[in-house]
Chains A and B, each alone.
Chain A
Amino acid sequence: MKKRGRVASLARRRHRVTRSLLALPLGWLLLFFVIPVSLVVAYSVGILATFTKEEGVSLESWRLFLSGENVYMLLFLKSFRMALIVAVVVVILAYPISYFLAMIADKYKYSLLLLMIAPFMTNFFMRVMAWKVLLGKQGVINSFLFWSGLREEGNPIESLAFGEVPVMIVLGYVWIPFVMLPMFAAMISMDRRLLEAAADLGASRWRAFWKVTFPLSLPGVMASFFFVFIPTIGEFVVPKLVGGTRGYMFGSAIDDLFGMGLDWRTGSVLSLWLVMAVFVLALVFMRLVRFGRLTEA
């Protein structure tokens, strides 16, 4: 009886402590994350406005965007496609590396992993700059071609300089090290005995991979995909540096709408749309993976 009383009071105390521990971080998130995002919603329908010229409360900015009367919907589709390509290619490139590190590299795995992610710890612009040095009409690749006589002076490979292609190359490059981590984590936490069991039951390596390793690594693959997709679809710096006019993305439009103070209201609409798109895609993916598991069983 006495003991139970003590346990109960301990539980009560812990409960109180839990609440007071959570107060500060939750307050912070409320004040500087939940409220800001809500204010974007308010701004997009005109409840909040900075500039007096902006008309009153209405869904007009949403209508203009969704009906495709301004260019932004087209821009969104283009950026969505680019982000999809970059994310898929990068995940495919990083998957074998994660597999190598998690399943084969053995005692060297953490050193090699560090070698892979170390570039990620350097400044984003430095890595972009490194590519600007390589690409570009006067860049290392083109100037090397002139210098060695492989290509005539004044006739550089134009597509290397500006446009969608360099934007995607640079973004892919920037994300590869980061993308490996969730897949690596999924594979390393996998129970190796499952593979042994598969082998004992007569499965070939190929079959064991597709039936055991691959399904178990899927959550990691999904996390990796979003790690690239989310920043890529909201990207606005890389297009500025190597995109030119053809590499202009949805994020560039948001940046310009706010940065140049042109039209915060449309900017708010586009920002929310971006978050919604990411969110819906995440839901769809989670459904797919769960559904895949069900059919397996």
Chain B
Amino acid sequence: MIDIATSKWAKRALIGIFVFEIIFLYAPITMLYIFSFNEGTVIGFPFAGFTFDWYKEAFTNRGLLLSMRTSATIALMSSTASIVVGLLMAIPLARRKFKAKAPIMALVLSPLVVPHLVFGVALLITFKSVEIITNGALEFPLSLPSVAIGHVVVLMPLIVLILIPRLQRIDAHLEEAAEDLGAGGWRTFRTIILPLIAPALMAAYVISFIISFNEFAVAVFVSGPTTTFPIYVLAQLQYPVDVPQVIAISVIVVTLSLLVVVAAEILRRVLERRYRVLSQAAGLLGVADADTE
């Protein structure tokens, strides 16, 4: 049978384009790795010599480490909160019928079409207006929680988009069977729905954490005096004093993010495979097949 999607030559051309773009994507990152070991403070050729000093200095740089801790705290708060609200939102949207579904869906997804810059500005005005309306009696402190609040709004639509397809794939009969057997709503959720969407939840959590950790446009407006990691990095890039150190730390961050992404993917696959085996076994035994794939 011939392959209608491509001819042999088209396939070769596409592989060529793919390889080219992979190089285009990775070359600058590779450059970071190389220059993190360069002894000179000027980033450019010729090479001044090999050193590990920038890594050592980066790990003793208080401002840098503090900003990373701040961002990790914000990311922890916002991704945890947004997983909860995202799940609360996704379950009815995916598995229930109700009249207001379409407008609610539009509202949930609308933060996606608002540039982060505009949303950051809007939040800043909101927090400031607490002060204006109460004539300065009340002040909304701009700090870690205010950034996390903003990040939850940014993350919620993404989480809903990740969870809905997974929730829709769960056979409605499973829920009904659980209810017929006397399980309440919470118990059905905990024993049926939750295990089935666990891989998707985990993926959503990892993605949310990484996005929040790196988010700048909202954070810069509502962080007040707090310095998050991206804010620190940007300051370094604009007024370079410690650029080689920042390069060293970014190499570490890049490596860590890549490792987390790969580990999460592997784990997701293992979970999915186990789940598929289970549902196939259930199918053999004549139980309703959970996996509609």
In chain B, what residue has the closest Cβ to A115?
A: B22
Instruction: Give the docked Cα–Cα distance between A43 and B118 (Å).
Output: 13
Q: With A10-B179, A121-B261, A133-B28 as known contacts, state yes or no: A147 contacts B46, CB within 8 Å.
A: yes
Q: With A133-B31, A139-B44 as known contacts, state yes or no: A32 contacts B113, CB within 8 Å.
A: no
B270 CB-CB contact with A under 8 Å: no
Choice from A26, A93, A99 contacting B14 with Cβ under 8 Å: A99
Choice from B96, B108, B115, B124 contacting A14 with Cβ under 8 Å: B96
- Which of B28, B98, B114, B210 gathers most chain A CB within 10 Å? B28
Instruction: Give the docked Cα–Cα distance between A226 and B110 (Å).
Output: 13
B4 touches A177 (CB 8 A): no
Contact count A vs B, C-beta below 8 Å: 263
Residues of chain A within 8 A (CB-CB) of B108 are: 25, 29
B241 CB-CB contact with A under 8 Å: no
Q: With A21-B91, A32-B126 as known contacts, state yes or no: A177 contacts B117, CB within 8 Å.
A: no
Q: How far is the CB of B161 from chain A (nearest CB, A)?
A: 10
Q: With A48-B129, A133-B32, A199-B2 as known contacts, state yes or no: A147 contacts B114, CB within 8 Å.
A: no
A134 CB-CB contact with B under 8 Å: yes
A12 CB-CB contact with B under 8 Å: no
In chain A, what residue has the closest Cβ to B246?
A: A129
A254 touches B118 (CB 8 A): yes
Interface positions, chain A 101-143, Cβ under 8 Å from B, are 101, 103-104, 110, 112, 114-116, 118-119, 121-134, 136, 138-140, 142-143
Choice from A129, A144, A234, A278 contacting B250 with Cβ under 8 Å: A129
In chain A, what residue has the closest Cβ to B81?
A: A28
B233 CB-CB contact with A under 8 Å: yes
Instruction: Give the docked Cα–Cα distance between A67 and B6 (Å).
Output: 53
In chain B, what residue has the closest Cβ to A271?
A: B118
A205 touches B114 (CB 8 A): no
Instruction: Give the docked Cα–Cα distance between A236 and B265 (Å).
Output: 33
B25 touches A116 (CB 8 A): yes
B117 touches A236 (CB 8 A): yes
Residues of chain A within 8 A (CB-CB) of B128 are: 50
B287 CB-CB contact with A under 8 Å: no
Q: With A50-B128, A199-B2 as known contacts, state yes or no: A125 contacts B149, CB within 8 Å.
A: no
* Count of interface residues, chain A, beta-carbon cutoff 8 Å: 98
A-contacting 9-mer, from B49-57, B150-158, B193-201, B277-285: B150-158
A236 touches B217 (CB 8 A): yes
B117 touches A29 (CB 8 A): no
> What 1/0 flags go to B109-123 for Cβ under 8 Å of A?
011111111110111
Instruction: Give the docked Cα–Cα distance between A100 and B13 (Å).
Output: 10
A268 CB-CB contact with B under 8 Å: yes
B139 CB-CB contact with A under 8 Å: no
Q: With A122-B29, A125-B237 as known contacts, state yes or no: A208 contacts B117, CB within 8 Å.
A: no
B44 touches A142 (CB 8 A): yes
Q: With A125-B216, A173-B25, A234-B116 as known contacts, state yes or no: A130 contacts B32, CB within 8 Å.
A: yes
Instruction: Give the docked Cα–Cα distance between A110 and B262 (Å).
Output: 11
Q: With A104-B5, A230-B115 as known contacts, state yes or no: A129 contacts B247, CB within 8 Å.
A: yes
In chain A, what residue has the closest Cβ to B176?
A: A10
A279 CB-CB contact with B under 8 Å: yes
A199 touches B4 (CB 8 A): yes
Q: How far is the CB of A266 from chain B (nearest CB, A)?
A: 12
A177 touches B25 (CB 8 A): yes
> What 1/0 flags go to A198-236 for Cβ under 8 Å of B?
110000010010000100000000000010001101111
Instruction: Give the docked Cα–Cα distance between A35 and B203 (Å).
Output: 30
Instruction: Give the docked Cα–Cα distance between A25 and B4 (Å).
Output: 46
- Which of B35, B229, B237, B246 gathers most chain A CB within 10 Å? B237
> What 1/0 flags go to B27-50 for Cβ under 8 Å of A?
011011001000000111110000
Q: With A121-B258, A254-B121 as known contacts, state yes or no: A21 contacts B17, CB within 8 Å.
A: no
28 A-B contact pairs sorted by A residue (CB < 8 Å): A17-B185, A25-B89, A25-B108, A25-B156, A33-B119, A33-B153, A36-B126, A37-B114, A49-B132, A96-B14, A104-B11, A110-B265, A119-B26, A121-B210, A123-B250, A123-B253, A124-B216, A125-B233, A125-B234, A127-B29, A129-B247, A130-B29, A133-B247, A143-B44, A237-B217, A241-B234, A274-B118, A279-B113
**Knowing that A26-B107, A29-B107 are A-B contacts, what are 6 other residue pairs whose CB atoms are under 8 Å apart, sorted by A's residue number?**
A112-B18, A119-B25, A121-B261, A130-B31, A130-B32, A275-B118
Query: A interface vs B, CB < 8 Å?
Result: 10, 13-15, 17-18, 21-22, 24-26, 28-29, 32-37, 39-40, 43, 48-50, 93, 96-97, 99-101, 103-104, 110, 112, 114-116, 118-119, 121-134, 136, 138-140, 142-144, 146-147, 173, 176-177, 195-196, 198-199, 205, 208, 213, 226, 230-231, 233-237, 240-241, 251, 254-255, 258-259, 264, 267-268, 271-272, 274-275, 278-279, 282
The 5 closest A-B pairs by CB, nearest first: A234-B115, A130-B28, A143-B44, A36-B122, A25-B89
